[in-house]
Amino acid sequence: MRVVANPHQAEHCPEFEYFRGRKVPCFEMPSRAEFVQQALAGAGYRIEAPESFPDEVLYAVHSRRYVDFLRGAWAEWQGSGNEGDAFASVWPIRGMRVDRTPQNFAARLGMFSFDTGTPLCAGTWQAARAGADCAATAASWLSAGESSAFVLTRPPGHHAGPEFFGGYCFLNNAAIAAQALRERGAARVAVLDVDFHHGNGTQEIFYQRGDVLYASIHGDPATEYPFFLGHGDETGAGAGFGCNLNLPLPAGSSTANWFAALEVALRRIAEFGAEALVVSLGLDAAEVDPISKFKLQTADFTQLGRRLRAAGLPTLFVLEGGYAVAAIGENARASVEGFEAG
């Protein structure tokens, strides 16, 4: 399996976040990617640098005004006389307008975000943009005949929507990869999200499309972040009706129930006729994760890799969540080695 790593991931390094209203050290930190890279390199995988791609890979899944905002956000934040990381303080609620872009930076920061756990810092754009290049690079490899690839990047991406960031995510790497695979010839692409938290951004990007199936196994949004999306009755709309499969599980669900949901998702992917598979590999389904509530062990990630290999599709893994930093490398390696072993 070829591995492409983000050379700028450590530049996104906020000082703190607000977690459920408390000021805490960031759960999403550079060492997450460093542990994964060490584990994969130690297992013999060669770590490659990404190619550079034009902004069109971003515009295919994100709006131009959102991308333009992210690109200039840090300079504008500092230019307004602010110090430290940028946090949103006001948001448009139901009934307020978002069709007009405010001139005030604080208003735009809120309009393009949905939580206080995702601060912008000096290197956020550089890290997120390089992650998009990693996703597009891996997609190009698969389109050229590679059977698998691993996108080793942070910040993660699956909570980022067409024009909003949150959940530690700014650009949606899985969506960028899936769209690139479509544009390079795959008639149908499936995105399988195994992160503990529902990938609301990926769902929104593809919800009305019939060429990309989104399937997600995640904590029930009745009690788990992102709370406002990820229910089982969200099945797609318009041309995408039937192309969205949410499999929410109660917090604390058994590993047996998790794998039963995985089988449901894999059957749906087969029925869909996908020609390529993008896996949003959230390693926070591990029992040791500090902010998640599933019970997978390292051996279960090996089994996950084997089941994904059995699907028989060109497969692109994208690193998403996983905040038990000491375990994330081991679980990433288990997933990859399980896939390689078949």
The pLDDT value recorded for residue 113 is 98
The pLDDT value recorded for residue 102 is 97
Q: Is the pLDDT of residue 159 over 90?
A: yes
Torsion sign (Cα): 332, 336, 337, 342 = positive
Nearest-angstrom CA–CA distance, 253 and 287: 10
pLDDT tens across 125-135, in order? 999 999 999 99
Give the global pTM.
Answer: 0.98
| Residue extents of the structural domains in the chain | 2-53+122-341
Rounded average pLDDT over 213-236: 98
Cβ-contact 157, 105 below 8 angstroms:
no
197 band by pLDDT with thresholds 50, 70 and 90: very high
pLDDT tens across 27-42, in order? 999 999 999 999 999 9
Q: Which of 274, 275, 291 is nearest to 283 (CA)?
A: 291
**Residue 159 a catalytic site member:** yes
The amino acid occupying position 59 is Y
Q: Which of 170, 8, 27, 31 is nearest to 88 (CA)?
A: 170
Backbone dihedral region for residue 242 (phi beyond 0: left; psi -120 to 50: alpha; all else: beta): left
Q: Provide the 8-state DSSP code for 240.
A: G
The amino acid occupying position 109 is L
Let me know how long the chain is: 342
Q: Strands across the sheet with 315-319, in order?
A: 47-48, 2-5, 148-152, 315-319, 276-281, 189-193, 212-219, 244-249
Q: Which of 114, 110, 142, 138 is nearest to 49 (CA)?
A: 138
What is the three-state SS of 259-300? HHHHHHHHHHHHHHCCCEEEEEECHHHECCCCCCCCCECHHH
- Beta strand pairing call for 244-249 and 47-48: unpaired
Which is catalytic among the residues 159, 197, 198, 218? 159
The pLDDT value recorded for residue 35 is 98
For residue 257, give the 3-state DSSP assignment: helix
pLDDT tens across 54-64, in order? 999 999 999 99
239 band by pLDDT with thresholds 50, 70 and 90: very high
CATH topology of domain 2-53+122-341: Arginase; Chain A (3.40.800)
For residue 124, give the 3-state DSSP assignment: helix
The pLDDT value recorded for residue 291 is 95
Mean pLDDT of the chain: 98
C-alpha distances (whole Å) from 259 to each of 136, 171, 172, 296 are 29, 29, 26, 10
213 band by pLDDT with thresholds 50, 70 and 90: very high
17 band by pLDDT with thresholds 50, 70 and 90: very high
Q: Is the pLDDT of residue 80 over 90?
A: no
Q: Is the pLDDT of residue 342 over 90?
A: no
Rounded average pLDDT over 90-112: 96
User: What is the percent of the chain with per-residue pLDDT over 90, rounded to a whole number?
Assistant: 99
pLDDT tens across 245-273, in order? 999 999 999 999 999 999 999 999 999 99
Cβ-contact 91, 113 below 8 angstroms:
yes
- For 240-253, give one letter per residue: b (16+ CB within 10 A) or e: beebbbbbbbeeeb
Rounded average pLDDT over 227-245: 98
In angstroms and rounded to an integer, the radius of gyration of the C-alpha atoms of the chain is: 18
